[in-house]
Amino acid sequence: MLRGLGNPEPPLDLDQVFELLKLDAQFYTTTEDGVFRETISRIKVGTIQIFKRPMLLLEALVKSELKALYIPDKKRILVDSTLPDLKVRWHTAHEVVHSICDWHGDVLFGDNFSTLSQGCHEQIEAEANYGTGRLLTLQDRFIQQVCGATLTLKDISNIGKTFGNTWTSTLWRVVESLDIPAFAVIGTHPNRRGSLEPCRYFIRSRRFEQEYGTFSEADALAAIRSYCNYKTLGPLGAGEAQVTNSRGEETIFLLETFAHQHDVITFAYLTRKTTSLISIGTSIRGDGTVC
Ligand SMILES: [Zn+2]
């Protein structure tokens, strides 16, 4: 796809992608049903053929809380227009990836979301999300920019702006792309009372997974809580965590946390090995200051 577009500069223009793939992207809201009044064939939700009652598609979307959908026979992408712009971008690109993976069409529409086995559904969604990340970061362009650089959350935000992507999705791709031990936590505020999901996603670089197999979400949250302030927006602090790797060596990670409008995000990466030879498990040294 990127070759077909002449290996473009970031940010990727999704309109050009639609043109290249001859896709028709339309927006809908669940209160305006114009899009759903057209006859849409070949889509089954359960045992009911949607084309007999196109409005069933709208009902199915609302019920399953889907934010976007790809309709193969019309080569049409439907996206919920009430999403914030950058989320529309992610969801639209996600449906583009479904559209180029022939086998996804069979899985999505030959069966429905409730009867499809969970494992199978997760597999194709993981494929679509992987493809979306690769597409919106223009594959190796992003990796060249990220690897070998010392990054702060602010740098990651700027990279996100360059590529036209959200801060959170950029952080996710950064951690996946890094060739050093690194992790990220995305969720709600780790310290505030009533915070429902302080670790919605725990993302680890390949080397982190290999070298810190026993380090858990709970360890990550404990490290973050040691320095994290109670503000609801802006920088929440930074600190160091001493973490034992699988060879029993003590290493130091630098952590930084920020609360933006949608999520609290933490980025952590290995900075150095300590000289200590005594393994004491995970301990945290936070100074509460912002890098
Ligand atoms: Zn999907």
Of 85, 108, 93, the residue nearest 25 (C-alpha): 93
Distance in Å, CA 249 to ligand 1 centroid: 41
Work out the widest C-alpha separation in the chain, in whole angstroms: 71
Q: Ligand 1: distance of its center to the CA of 228 in Å?
A: 34
Write down the domain spans for the chain. Answer: 14-136, 151-286
Q: How far apart are CA 221 and CA 230, in angstroms?
A: 14
What pLDDT, in 10s, does the model give residues 24-76? 888 877 666 556 655 454 444 444 445 555 566 667 667 666 778 887 777 88
CA distances from 42 to 39, 48, 53, 71, 290 (A): 10, 11, 12, 9, 54
137 CA distance to ligand 1 centroid (A)?
A: 18
Q: How far is the CA of 95 from the centre of ligand 1 (A)?
A: 6
| Class of domain 14-136 (CATH, top level) | mainly alpha
Q: How far is the CA of 223 from the centre of ligand 1 (A)?
A: 33
Q: Is the pLDDT of residue 246 over 90?
A: yes
Q: State the distance from the centre of ligand 1 to the C-alpha of 238, rounded, in angstroms.
A: 35
On the question of pLDDT at 259 being above 60, the answer is yes
Q: Tell how far the Cα of 78 is from the centroid of ligand 1, in angstroms.
A: 12
Task: Give residue-wise pLDDT tens across range 158-185.
Answer: 999 999 999 999 999 999 999 999 999 9
CA distance linking residue 27 with residue 79, whole number of Å = 5
| CA–CA gap between residue 64 and residue 51 (Å, rounded) | 19
- Domain 151-286, architecture per CATH: 2-Layer Sandwich (3.30)
HSE at residue 146, side-chain half, CA atoms within 13 A, is: 29
- Per-residue pLDDT tens digits for 85-122: 888 899 999 999 999 998 887 666 544 455 556 677 78
The answer, yes or no, to whether residue 278 has pLDDT greater than 60, is no
Pairwise CA distance, residues 132 & 172, whole Å: 12
- Answer for the pair 217, 238: CB distance below 8 angstroms, yes or no: no
How close is the Cα of 270 to the center of ligand 1, in Å? 33
**pTM score > 0.95 for this model?**
no
